[in-house]
Amino acid sequence: ANDIFRESRHTLRVGHSGAVEIRSHSHLFFFQGSALFPKRITANWKFETYATQIDVTGNGTWLIETTEKRGFKIILLEGELRITNGSKSISLDPGELLLVGEKEDQISQKIQIDLPLLFKTCRLLNNFESELPSKSRIISAAQVQALRLKKRYEAVVGGVKDNKLQIWAIKKKKSK
C-alpha cells in the first residue's frame, strides 16, 4: 500500500476499502472506509458523508472511519484534536475514540482505547512502504497510556455486542 499523497507537510493514507473524494486541501468527502492523517501543523478540516458533516481542528495523528449509518469514528493517536458537529464541540486526548452520529450535535462520550494494541494491529499504521512521519510520537503516546493504565487496572477487556461497545476493567487487588 502507498500513501495517497505525500509531501513534506501532508500525508494521507486511505484504507483498503476506502473511497474518499478530495474536494479541496482541507475538505474530504467519505463514501466509505477509513483514513489516517499525520499533521504536525495545526489545521482545520471538513469531513463529510452523505449524512454527516464535521469540522476538525488540531494537529497530530488521527484515524477517521465511516460508521454503518454514515457517521464517523475518530481516534486520536497523538497530538490535540477538536471535533465539532453542529453546535456541539469536544476535544480529544491521545488514546480517545469519539463517535459522531448522522444527526447534528450527535457526539458520543469519549472512549479510551488501547493505543499499544492499536499500534500493533492497525494496517493504516503498519502496512505501508514508507514510515509514518509521526511514528515516534505515536509510540511515546502509547507508552504513556500503557503506564497510566497499568497503575489503575490489571486488565481491560472489550467487545462489541448488538452494535454497542462494551468494556470491562479488571481492577488490581489491593495489597494487604
Query: What does the pLDDT look like over 7-34, one tens digit per residue?
Result: 445 577 788 788 888 898 889 999 998 9
Q: What's the grid cell of residue 138?
A: 505515536
Query: What is the pLDDT at residue 68?
Result: 86
Positive or negative: CA dihedral 80, 85, 89, 92:
negative
Query: What is the pLDDT at residue 73?
Result: 92
Average pLDDT over residues 102-112: 84
- Is 125:110 a contact under the CB 8 Å cutoff? no
pLDDT band at 53 (very low <50, low <70, confident <90, very high): very high
Query: What does the pLDDT look like over 56-103, one tens digit per residue?
Result: 999 888 889 998 888 899 999 889 999 999 899 999 998 899 998 888
pLDDT top residue among 84 and 133: 84
Query: What does the pLDDT look like over 140-157, one tens digit per residue?
Result: 887 777 776 666 555 555
Candidates 103, 41, 47; CA nearest to 74 is 47
Round to whole Å and give the CA distance between 129 and 71.
Answer: 30
pLDDT band at 176 (very low <50, low <70, confident <90, very high): low
Candidates 78, 80, 74; CA nearest to 34 is 74
